[in-house]
Homo-oligomer: A and B are copies of this chain.
Amino acid sequence: MMRTRPLKVALLGCGVVGSEVTRIITTQSADLAARIGAPIELAGIAVRRPNRVREGVPAELLTTDATALVKRGDLDVVVEVIGGIEPVRTLITTAFEHGASVVSANKALLAADGASLHAQAAEHGVDLYYEAAVAGAIPLIRPLRESLAGDKVNRVLGIVNGTTNFILDKMDTTGAGYSEALDEATALGYAEADPTADVEGFDAAAKAAILAGIAFHTRVTIDDVHREGLTEVTAADIASAKKMGCTVKLLAICERARDGRSVTARVHPAMIPLSHPLASVRGAYNAVFVEAEAAGRLMFYGPGAGGAPTASAVLGDLVAACRNKLAATTGAGESAYTQLPVSPMGDVVTRYHISLDVADKPGVLAQVATVFAEHDVSIDTVRQQGRSQGLGGDTNDGAADAPGGAGRLREGGEASLVVVTHRAPDAALSATVASLRTLDTVRGVASIMRVEGE
């Protein structure tokens, strides 16, 4: 049964993930051979610093010439765990041209240029797999591409960045501010020295682009994804969320429009109810909800990063690519036949939680409510809270329906109004906020946050 010709695999990059991939390939070789139907032979490992100590990595396999490695012509699969756009894009293209399938963990490249990479793989009759690019070890790409291939996915909603989830979880559980929580994440190794990609939402946006494209069988790039990071989330926002029975998470949300003619993809902080399963996703874990017409609501949960979990996803793809090479076939390629356009953020229908600093005098609530009505935004609840002395007693924390905006605040000083809207287009919500800012009685907009998961 077992073919004797080994499958030749080259590795591009040997950092945390690459070392773990090497370790598994070398220590689990008998299992991998049995599962694939032929043994794997590590043909070479391209690295920048060949003299760095890498425990368990055979030194004789190391090379600094990645281009020569992918040009060998005898490779079955190239595993890319370098990251970034160039020189990786060129290396992957070269690997395809020389007949190798590619397994990549590169969310940035796939989110920027997935379509052309898929086209090149198809042209050369090889596979392009990238389960590790989204949510580490959690099987998501394969379930979306294959298990749900006969279903209609309407929504993907998830926590796909462990660093930001760690920071928000810290802020939620300890009351810490953003900077303090970021410092702790950095000290513990959850955040990189330059945390921009994580905290500004670029990493999550890349994953959202990949997930949206696969879920809706269309093409979505990172440029199509509305992106807001969490750097402006304050301890006060987290406290406001708690008052509403919510917590704050940085969510990636991909949705099919109700008329089915377009899709949206976005990443931003949002309040979600504590009863929502995503609310209890702690620390650096990831979890993704998938809502499909027949399947209903599915959730996938697990470690979203780290050397070993990411290596697990890479190895799963490597086994699949090797099996296909042995069978002289390829797996399902890109499916982008729906060609659904990506709508801008303004078309997204969502809810807002808005905190306003207002003058504490008669008619303010009526004025504010009128602005909402003018933009066709329906108010769910209003909570008004005095700031000056003599206020804040019986009105404190009291949520009140605001039918027609006839409420009246006590006179004198300043107060705050917390408004939660019903669902409305994001453009209408933004316009409402812009109008509110022009009111004399509105001293400032303290915070705006979307409410999701209800």
What residues make up the interface of A, taking CB atoms closer than 8 Å to B?
20, 24, 28, 31-32, 34-35, 131, 137-139, 142-143, 146-152, 217, 277, 280, 292-303, 306, 308-309, 311-320, 323, 327, 329-330, 332, 335, 337-338
Contact = CB atoms under 8 A, between A and B. Distances in A.
A138 to B, nearest CB: 6
13 contacts: A28-B150, A32-B150, A34-B337, A139-B143, A139-B298, A146-B319, A147-B313, A148-B316, A150-B319, A277-B301, A294-B308, A294-B312, A300-B300
A101 to B, nearest CB: 15
A294 B329 contact: no
Contacts of A24: 150-151, 294
Contact of A295 (B143, B308, B319): B308
A60 B24 CA distance: 55
Contacts of A311: 294
B332 A150 contact: no
A337 B318 CA distance: 19
Given A24-B150, A31-B152, A309 B294 contact: yes
Nearest to A299: B301
A441 to B, nearest CB: 44
Contact of A329 (B35, B297, B320, B329): B329
A318 B138 contact: no
A315 B149 contact: yes
Nearest to A323: B332
B151 A312 contact: yes
B316 A296 contact: no
Given A35-B149, A277-B280, A294-B311, 6 more contacts: A24-B294, A139-B139, A146-B319, A150-B317, A296-B309, A297-B302
Contact of A146 (B137, B152, B316): B316
Nearest to A20: B294
A302 B302 contact: no
A40 to B, nearest CB: 10
Contacts of A299: 299-302
B297 A34 contact: no
Given A142-B146, A217-B34, A337-B34, A302 B295 contact: yes
Contacts of A277: 280, 301
A131 B314 CA distance: 23
Contacts of A151: 24, 137, 312, 315-316
A292 B150 CA distance: 28
A147 B139 contact: yes
A18 to B, nearest CB: 13
B303 A300 contact: no
A185 B372 CA distance: 46
A296 B303 contact: yes
Contacts of A138: 298
A319 B329 CA distance: 17
B150 A296 contact: no
Contact of A137 (B294, B314, B317): B294
A147 B152 contact: no
Nearest to A148: B316
Contacts of A330: 327
A318 B20 contact: no
Contacts of A315: 149-151, 294
Contacts of A146: 142, 146, 316, 319-320
Contacts of A337: 34-35
Nearest to A36: B149
Contacts of A301: 277, 298-301
